[in-house]
Amino acid sequence: MNFGGDAGPRSLIRNQIEVSETRMRNGIAVLVPVFALVGVCAAFSDEGQNTAFRRIVAVLVLVSTLPAAYLVSRIRFGIIWWNRDMGHHSVPRASTYFVLYADLGVTVVLATFANHELALYGTALFAVISVYVAHFVRWAETVVHMVFTSCVIAVFAVLTWRQGYHDIAGILARAATSVIAVNATLVLLRSFSAGMLTSYRTQFANANRDPLTGLLNRRGFELWMQIAEEREPGRSGVLLLDIDNFKAVNDGSGHDGGDTVLRLLSRRLERVVGVDAAVARTGGDEFAIAVRGDIAGLTRLAEAIRGEVAVRSDDVPITVSIGVAQLASGAHGKLTGQEQIKEALSRADKAMYEAKSDGRNRVVADVSAQ
C-alpha cells in the first residue's frame, strides 16, 4: 500500500499485517499435527483402533498432517479473509480444500475408534475447525461444513446408542453438546468476523475516496496503481490534468459553483476512460488517471478527455491541461513498483505544467521513458 506517497507509514502498516499473518499461519500449522495427538492417544487405548486395518488408516491420516501443516503455512490468510464472500474468482481455494481435508480427516480417524462413545466425544474437535471456517471460508461452504459435521455427530450418536451402554437421553445430551460447540462457535465468530470485515472495508474505502467527487484520492490512486502493476506487470501510464484558471471559476461562481464543476468533471472523466482505468482527484482541481497503453494511446485518450471536458453550453465552461507519462519499462531492475509510480507521476506533473505554460487547454506527453 502507498499512503500519501509516504514509504514510512506504508512500510509500518504492511509489516504489521505480515507479522500478524505469519503468526496466524504458524499457529494453525502447529495446531494441525496437534490433532494427530488424539489419534495417537487412541492408538494406545483399548477404546481406540482395535484392528490392524484401523490402525493403518489412522496412521496414514496422522502422517498426512505433516505436509498439510506445511501447506497451511503458505496460505495467505489476509487475502482470503478480505475477499471472503465477495465472489472474486481470484480468491485462493486453498482455504476451502484445507477445511475439506480437516473435516474428512477428523471423521476418518474417529471412525476407526472401537468405542463409539469416545468418537462422539472426539467430534468436539470440529469446533476448532469451525473457528477457522468462521473467518476464512465463504458462507456457502460454511453451511456445508455445519451440515456435514452435524450429520457426523448424529451418526456417532446413533452408533453409541446401538452399543447399549447409555440411555437415549444421555446420548442426546452428549450429541447436543457437540453440535452446539461446533455450530454455535462458528455462528458467533462468523457474525463478529463479518462485522469487523464490513467495518474495515468501509474505513478503507472512506480513507481512499475523495468525499466531494466520490473518486479515489491520491492515496487510493497510488494504491490502485501498485496493485494493478503487481497483478499484471506491464506498460501502464498516467494522465495528470488540472482545470485551467480554476481560481477564476471559484471567484465567479463561489465555492458551491466550483464544487459543482469538480463533480461534473469527475463524471465526464469516468465516462470517457471506462471501467478499466482509475480516476482520482489528487488535489484541489487536479485529477489523475491510470490506464494501460503505450504513449500514443495515452495521448489519444488525453485528447479525447480534453475535447469531452470543454462543453461550450456549460453554465461555467472549463478547459483542462493534461500531462501524459508512461511507467519506465527499463527501470524494473532499478526501481521498486512504488518508486516507478512516483517517478511516472513526477514526469506527468512536469508535462502538465508545460501544457499550462504553453497556453493551457492542451496535452503534453513525456517521452523520456521511451
Report residue 346 as a C-alpha cell.
513526477
Residue 307 CB neighbour total at 10 angstroms: 10
177-213 pLDDT tens trace = 999 999 998 999 999 988 888 887 777 777 788 989 9
246, exposed or middle or buried, with CB in 10 Å at 0-12, 13-18, 19+? middle
Among the ranges given (122-131, 248-257, 297-306, 332-341), the one the predictor scored with the smallest mean pLDDT: 332-341
Give CATH 3.30.70.270 domain extents, the chain: 218-365
Tell me what pLDDT residue 240 has: 95
Q: What pTM does this model have?
A: 0.63
Mean pLDDT of the 226-234 span: 69
Give the type of residue at 32.
Answer: V
The burial of 198, by beta-carbon neighbours within 10 Å (0-12 exposed, 13-18 middle, 19 or more buried), is given as exposed
pLDDT in tens, 71-123: 888 787 777 777 777 655 445 578 889 999 999 999 998 998 888 998 999 99
Domain 218-365: what homologous superfamily?
Reverse transcriptase/Diguanylate cyclase domain (3.30.70.270)
Closest CA to 229 of 335, 337, 346, 369: 337
